[in-house]
């Protein structure tokens, strides 16, 4: 390599002009500092006031071709539409698919932590249950 092929690394001269220097702020809305302060210092959500019951969260692979599925079962006092809403919220948070079958919410993959967080925000008491008993058909 010859000296003329080298690239200088000293930093060089500063830019001669600022490409945004000729722009004016006329016609642009001013930033509202009180709005930004509210967005940054938003008060945390209070915990749900009522306990909606225990929900068992299990991880299953049996009968699914080796694929892992996270199942929430044991819902008491809620209907199918609310379970479907919870399932959609969990699917969106986890970035995976899922369904509601036999009164249980099934989410693809091992997403127990995400599911427990969302269910506790909804007022349920999630419990990580062991074993492969899964959802009991009633």
Domains in the chain: boundaries: 57-128
CATH code for residues 57-128: 3.30.780.10
User: How much is the pTM?
Assistant: 0.59
Q: Would you state the pLDDT for residue 86?
A: 93
- Residues 117, 122, 127: CA angle, nearest 5 degrees: 50
Distance of alpha carbon 58 from alpha carbon 129, whole angstroms? 5
- How do residues 95-131 score in pLDDT, each as one tens digit? 999 999 999 999 999 999 999 999 999 999 999 987 5
Q: What is the mean pLDDT of residues 4-33?
A: 72
């Amino acid at each position: 390599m010859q000296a003329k092929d080298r690239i200088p690394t000293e930093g060089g001269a500063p830019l001669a002009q600022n490409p945004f220097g000729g722009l004016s702020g006329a016609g642009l809305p001013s930033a509202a500092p009180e709005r930004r302060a509210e967005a940054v210092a938003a008060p945390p959500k209070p915990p749900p006031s009522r306990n909606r019951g225990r929900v068992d969260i299990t991880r299953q692979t049996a009968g699914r071709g080796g694929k892992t599925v996270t199942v929430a079962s044991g819902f008491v006092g809620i209907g199918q539409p609310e379970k479907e809403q919870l399932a959609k919220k969990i699917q969106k948070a986890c970035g995976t698919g899922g369904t509601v079958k036999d009164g249980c919410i099934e989410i693809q993959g091992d997403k127990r932590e995400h599911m427990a967080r969302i269910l506790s925000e909804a007022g349920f008491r999630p419990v990580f249950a062991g074993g492969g008993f899964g959802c009991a058909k009633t």
